[in-house]
Amino acid sequence: MKTIQAYRFALDLTPGQERDVLAHAGAARVAFNWALVKVKAVMDQRTAERSYGVPDEALTPSLSWSLAGLRKAWNAAKPGVAPWWGEVSKEAFNTGLEALARGVKNWADSRRGARAGRPVRFPRFKSRRRTAPSVRFTTGAIRVEPDRMHVVLPRLGRLKLHESARKLARRLDNGTARIMSATVRRGGGRWHVSFTVEVERAEGAPARPRSVVGVDVGITHLAVLSTGELVDNPRHLAAAQRRMRSLGRALSRKTGPDRRTARRPSKRWERAAARLGRAHARVAHLRRDGLHKLTTRLAREHATIVVEDLNVAGMLANRKLARCVADAGFAEIRRQLAYKTGWNGGRLLLADRWYPSSKTCSGCGTVKTKLALSEREYTCQACGLVIDRDRNASLNLAALAAEFDTAGSGPVAARGADQKTRVRGQVATKREPGTASAGQTGTVPPQGRTTNRVLAKAH
């Protein structure tokens, strides 16, 4: 099974190497901004000519938005725009032109409805100070040295890694991996190199081939599994909030940049901004590490994982819960499970966004009309089942796997998966009170009451 995955390593650059990388990143930014000026000028000119009644055949010739068209225009103009173009790799200019071509295409597709998701804005100019320096190499000498502590990139030469690249080197030596591109980027005060690799992976199999688990994500507990396991939410951002406030106050006292007066930031402001950036990067790294460990364990152990299609963007609109929701990383959990289940021979099922997993009794299937967020314990008026709200939702999600197999394909949209929750007393699926859901054995034990605030869900 061939897959595309990334290997990311930290770099230890010398001052001279850092200047070279910054020069390549600056060349990419120059090419991007130049091409954006040309595209905007042609678009504005054609719009003005149409307003004057000029026929379409007499309009100013349009500029191709494709990478090939932008590259052709750049090669013709680069001697005058960037006379120093020979000092950096051609891949630097290709990085900026490719980013613009992709951005303009996404904007055009979004305008005509060919792209799903939020509307995409027209590309904006890249700032030297606000844009993270980055450059991507797709051709030339890209390899990992035999000592596995150095990599070689075009024009940049031999760069030292902060950590061993033995995992990637083993695949390269065995012939089960092929490097397609390498991206050098600075973030959180460090330089990293990311290799996009085509990997030949062996067909995996979960440890429990017939296991079905429902995963209900939340804030008090990051995940509640239908097996009864509770995964604690580490709350990395909340733990670092005190230090971040202190660093933010220290930064505000320094002389920062001012675009109105063209004032440059002081050295102390730059050092304070770097300290704050490293604190944010540490939180992001801790969150990413925890989510990877959780999703890897679930994908390797269970054959079928059922999660909800949550409206995370809508949850972030709630100002009281936005920080907690962003800190938990619900969308990242689903994204990682999507590809890791494929790697390990499992499958990921998505419950419809309007499926009332919390309002449905996991014992008899009765659906409540309303369930307040303050009710942390689910009490069924039909069968008398008393169970923790999140555990009840995870059991209902696990039960959807059997209905998905019956439906055949597509998203799970069973038992009230629409915008209206059916009235109390309406039974969706006949099941004996107190019995376990699909993939589970034994009875559903009552859970203790949870008093902490948890996630506000779409249902």
Catalytic residue list: 216, 308, 390
CA atoms within 13 A on the CB side of 455: 29
- CA geometry: angle 282, 283, 288, nearest 5 deg: 100
Question: Distance (Å, rounded) from C-alpha 213 to C-alpha 437?
Answer: 10
Question: Distance (Å, rounded) from C-alpha 348 to C-alpha 41?
Answer: 47
Q: What is the DSSP letter of 125?
A: P
Pairing of strands 377-379, 150-153: unpaired
Question: Distance (Å, rounded) from C-alpha 256 to C-alpha 249?
Answer: 13
Task: Fill in the amino acid letter for 162.
Answer: H
Closest CA to 82 of 101, 97, 64: 97
SS3 per residue for 34-53? HHHHHHHHHHHHHHHHHHCC
Task: Quote the tokens at residue 190.
Answer: 């460090």
Closest CA to 195 of 366, 57, 6, 45: 6
Helices (H), 201-344: 236-239, 241-252, 267-301, 312-315, 322-328, 330-343
First-to-last C-alpha distance (Å) of the chain: 38
Residues in the chain: 459
Task: Quote the tokens at residue 403.
Answer: 């209905």
Residues 319/321/325/331 CA torsion (nearest 10 deg): -60
CA atoms within 13 A on the CB side of 316: 9
Helix 241-252 / helix 267-301 crossing angle, nearest 10 deg: 160
Question: Distance (Å, rounded) from C-alpha 366 to C-alpha 370?
Answer: 12
Closest CA to 438 of 206, 205, 211, 208: 211
Residues 160/164/168/171 CA torsion (nearest 10 deg): 120
Question: Distance (Å, rounded) from C-alpha 297 to C-alpha 390?
Answer: 20
Q: Residue 59 in 3-state DSSP? A: coil
Q: How many CB atoms lie within 10 A of CB 322?
A: 12
